[in-house]
Amino acid sequence: MHDTPHSLAGQTVTVLPAAPLYSYANTEPVQLRVEDWHDRVFGQSWMTYDGHAASLGYAMRSAMGGLPTDNEVLYGKCDRGLGHLVHVSEIKDGAA
């Protein structure tokens, strides 16, 4: 678990998805408002959060896009208002 907020918490970033986010049809860049590390927002790893749509979506994306299966994952919301998980490696150069 992360003890401190991610440095981009509260900021909007550009995400270059390794595989499409579930509310998008492709891997074009997406703007995401970062809330914080997933484990800080929900109190547990995305890997153990059964039934959580964003965690399930990330599990599929990580398999399709070859993303690491670690906890370096941020939770945030896109311009469509939906919550998504993104790996820190998918963030383009910090804040947008």
From the list 65, 51, 70, 69, the residue with the least C-alpha distance to 21 is 65
Confidence band for 93, pLDDT divided at 50, 70 and 90: confident
Using one digit for the tens of pLDDT, what is the confidence trace for 3-52?
999 999 999 999 999 999 987 888 999 999 999 999 999 999 999 998 89
Query: Rounded CA gap, 51 and 96, in Å?
Result: 31
Comparison of pLDDT for 1 and 11, the residue scoring more: 11
> How far separated are the first and last CA of the chain, in Å rounded?
26
CA atoms within 13 A on the CB side of 10: 2
From the list 44, 39, 34, the residue with the least C-alpha distance to 72 is 39
Give the start-to-end residue ranges of the domains of the chain. Answer: 12-95
Residue entry with tokens 């150069």? 93
Confidence band for 64, pLDDT divided at 50, 70 and 90: very high
